[in-house]
Structure 1
Amino acid sequence: MGSSQPPRILPADELVEEERVPGYRPELYYPATPGQVLNSRYKILTKIGWGRTSTVWLAQELDGPEEMPFPYVTLKLTTADPDFEDVALHELNMNKYLTKDTYFAGSLFVRAAFDHFMATSPTGTEHLCLVFDAMREPLSQFKYRLPGGCIPPSLLKVYAEFILQGLEYLHSHCQIVHTDLKTDNILMSFEDVNVVEEYVKAQDEHPMPRKTIGDRTIYLSHNNFGDLRSYWVLPRIADFGLAHHVDGKRPLRHPIQPPLYHAPEVLLGAPWSYSADIWNLGVLLFELLENRQLFRHLESQKGVYTAQAHLAEMIALFGPPPQKLIEQEKQWCDVPWDRSFPGPDGTWYDTAREYYGGPFFDSKGHFTHTQIIPKDVRLDDCVTCLTGKEKELFLNFVRKMLRWLPEERKTAKELREDPWLYSDLDKT
């Protein structure tokens, strides 16, 4: 099918997407081209994403059965950067655990690669390519298609149940902690195949903007699949590049989670496990319901995230932590990790004390930054779009996740039985 109009040519001096990556080296990226067929099976259509370690493309599967209802896939073409080779291999290794027990219904809500292969560039560089089901967009983008950027409670209950099924599968069947559960890493499915087919047709009529430097063409990605036709799409937990398999041989203690979602045990340097994901989900549900962050006082006067400010707001919302958790900080905060980890400032650290700036509690168990504990902050006041019994049920639901002690948080399986998920909104 021919293009209806020529593509827009971008200025040669304009940095396009992956070119903005610090230390960008074009030869490390696979030079994918629309129309190219990889592994004799996947025809590249359009670029839909990019990052430091990969570019992401929508493709059509060519050798599936004729009656295949949805012949579109996503290709994640990793770079040939030796500094990030472990990242790609780690994700591939996690995929082995993700696909070992797919008879469980919760696997439907986890997005694992169903194929992988090595793609060789014209210059001979090897690139791992992971193949996934094609998805519409991340939840971070999807929610703004809804009024006010908020997911209605009736719909949020459905999505929460699906996400909990996915977490139950990860935790109970795969022994995996995701560690990076956020709206960018929950992908929403397409309403139907027509959405993709119309998008592909539009791309053919209006090709991606691009620029060519030498023998390499860089494309401007297009990942907007148009207006939403139905809210009844499925969320799937994605991106396992930072996930960890729990083998029970040693405690997991190194830094995890985006700052807004840090569980308290992580900040204190104590061991963490599946329950860190549960805390993560509790914070995330507030964000989806209210379209604002639960923790709103996380920065220093210089506008920089600080662990002490985060803990201070936790204390304001949930009261002081149990002595048992404080004792774990004393036990673990100075114990070196298995390896060093880079902080937000680029400095490499060996312990939780160095990384987060602790300890945060003195020898008597008192918080050492009481002056920054926010005043008049109550968890009940953080929920403004629910009232009455419905609000009470929601708060009880998330309180089961937002517990100081990891062992007191409910599991994904237990949370799936919570009354809020099945309450009747019409009776509030």
Structure 2
Amino acid sequence: MESYGNFHLSHVPRPSTQTPPLATVKGDHSQTFSERSHRRGIWRWLKEKYVALKVNSSAHHSRQNAAQAELDILRRISEANPLHKGWGFVRHPLDSFTLQNGLGRHLSLAFEPLREPLWIYRQRFIGDVIPSDVLKILLQMMLHGLDYLHSECHVIHTDLRPDNIMIKVEDPSILENSARDEYEHPLPQKSCSDGRTIYLSRNDFGISDKITGIIQITDFDLSVRGDRPNTGFYSYSADIWSLGAMLWDVLEGKKLFKEVGPLEAQEYDELNHFGHIAALLGPPPKELLDRGTRTDRFYTSDGQFKGRTVAPSDFNFESSICNIHDEDKRMFIEFVQRMMKWRPEERSTAKELLQDPWLYADFY
């Protein structure tokens, strides 16, 4: 690996043997590879293994601190209680190591490779949405994972979205076949004048032979400890809200609050966002506004919203859901209303949501 700017350049080696050690896969935040242990000589009896590598950029001291904080969170998650039912639905590091170059130290993490994020997984279904009966199974896994994070690890994820919930590889031979195919039929590469090589990601492992995959909650670089006073305004209920809002991405193929930015600029508009939330949930409680440190940016002293009403007049839970119907729809709305409440303390916990009848209505 070479240094380039704030990053480490990672090259995919092309061995002279018939054993392909490295196959690139998609990574969202840092460079990620699926790497095969290349055993030679006295190591030949060891089982070959693929891992996903996350190489953090850390030219600045703040980035080094953030990378170390992520590793500390991951270690806590791995060690808290492996016997908990949700332990297996959260991603754990296999190992960590540090790379050194002229710009600093790059903390790197090794993980078990995963198949694909939830936003790709949903594209395998008709209409690019996950059917209700399949989603209920996935949600049970997510809630067990969140219950483990919240009750055992005291960790708040803070960034739950379809990118950060991934489907596990259902058959290890998929990685073997992908690496073999990369060796025999390499994907296009671009060689740059500065010596860099840009590799096309190999991120399509074909259609799974299992309708429902096993999920893992991933990407803890923004996570915070919920049992410490420096968590800012986050509480465990922040993850519950995020999970509730995310359900529209996978069940409806759209954002619940999809028009939160000016159409001409495509920028985030806080007033617009608050207006949509108020249209969905009603006006926020006065005591909640009194607790806010930035309330005066959005509301007057008597609780009047400063923005203009931009949400459609019929914007509500009922009208925003089109892909489920009748009793299933009614029960889903009751389920999600337990998650999306103005007052954080009124939102149900992950453990409580696991008892909701909607999750099991198709399986009685």
Matched, 1:229 2:209: yes
CA contact (8 A) 1:165 1:412 kept: yes
Corresponding residue to 1:244 among 221, 224, 228: 224
Q: Does 1:415 align with 2:353?
A: yes
From 40, 44, 51, the equivalent of 1:73 is: 51
Per-residue displacement from partner, 1:142-191 (whole Å, max 9, x unpaired)? 11111111101111000000000110111111111111101111111112
Superposed displacement of residue 383, structure 1: 1.3
Aligned-pair CA distance for 1:80: 4.6
| Per-residue deviation, residues 194-251 of structure 1 (Å, max 9, x unmatched) | 322221221111113221545543323222212232223111110001111123334x
1:140 paired residue among 96, 109, 119: 119
Distance 1:148 1:51, change over 3 A: closer
The answer as to whether partners of 2:64 and 2:107 remain within 8 angstroms in 1 is no
Q: Partner residue of 1:292?
A: 254
* Counterpart in the other structure of 1:381: 319
Identity of aligned residues (%): 33
Q: 1:284 to 1:424 in 2, by over 3 A?
A: same
Q: Out of 288, 298, 311, which is 2:274 matched to?
A: 311
Task: Establish whether residue 114 from structure 1 lines up as the match of residue 94 from structure 2.
Answer: yes
Q: 1:56 aligns with which of 19, 27, 32?
A: 32
The answer (yes or no) to whether the contact 1:282–1:401 under 8 Å persists in 2 is: yes
CA drift of 1:387 comes to 1.5
Q: What is the SS of the residue equivalent to 2:86?
A: helix
Report the Cα distance in structure 1 between the residues aligned to 2:105 and 2:311, rounded to whole angstroms.
52
Cα deviation 1:251-298 (Å, max 9, x = unaligned): x33xxxxxxxxxxxxxxxxx3311010000001112211111111331
Instruction: Choose from 266, 273, 287 the match for 2:235.
Output: 273
Q: Give 1:300's aligned amino acid.
A: P
The answer on 1:184 being equivalent to 2:163 is: yes
- TM-score norm. by structure 2 comes to 0.88
Instruction: Name the CA distance, whole Å, in 1 between partners of 2:192 and 2:93.
Output: 31
Q: CA deviation at 1:97?
A: 1.5
Deviation at 1:126, TM superposition (A): 4.1
Equivalent residue of 1:29, what SS? Answer: strand
- Are residues 407 and 216 of structure 1, via their aligned partners in 2, closer, same or farther at CA, if it must alter by over 3 Å? same
Q: CA deviation at 1:359?
A: 2.2
Instruction: Tell me the C-alpha RMSD between the 2 structures.
Output: 2.7
Q: Measure, in 2, the Cα distance between the counterparts of 1:400 and 1:360.
A: 25
> If the length of structure 1 is used for normalisation, what is the TM-score?
0.75
Q: Give distance in 2, aligned partners of 1:51 and 1:311.
A: 28
Which runs of structure 2 are paired with 1:292-371 in the superposition (5 Å)? 292-300=254-262, 302-303=264-265, 304-329=267-292, 332-333=293-294, 358-371=296-309
SS of the residue corresponding to residue 226 of structure 1 reads coil
Number of matched residues? Answer: 351
- Asked if the contact 2:37/2:50 (under 8 Å) is kept, the reply is yes
The 8 Å contact of residues 86 and 146 in structure 2, kept in 1 or not, is answered as yes
Q: Distance in 1 between matches of 2:201 and 2:145?
A: 29
Moved more, 55-64 or 148-157: 55-64
What is the CA deviation profile of residues 346-390 of structure 1, one whole-angstrom value per residue up to 9, with x for unaligned ones?
Answer: xxxxxxx7xxxx521111112222543431212111111112211
Q: Tell me, which stretches of 5 or more residues in structure 1 are unaligned?
A: 1-23, 37-42, 254-270, 334-352
What's the counterpart of residue 110 of structure 2?
Answer: 131
- CA distance in structure 2 between the aligned counterparts of 1:82 and 1:209, rounded to whole angstroms: 33
- In structure 2, the gaps of 5 or more residues are none
> Partners of 1:371 and 1:133 in 2: how far apart?
47
Quick check: 1:29–1:80 contact (8 Å CA) kept in 2? no
Residue of structure 2 in register with 1:47 after alignment: 24
Per-residue deviation at 1:129?
Answer: 1.9
- Partner of 1:225, secondary structure, is coil
| CA distance in 2 between partners of 1:27 and 1:397 (Å) | 45
Give the match's secondary structure for 2:79. coil
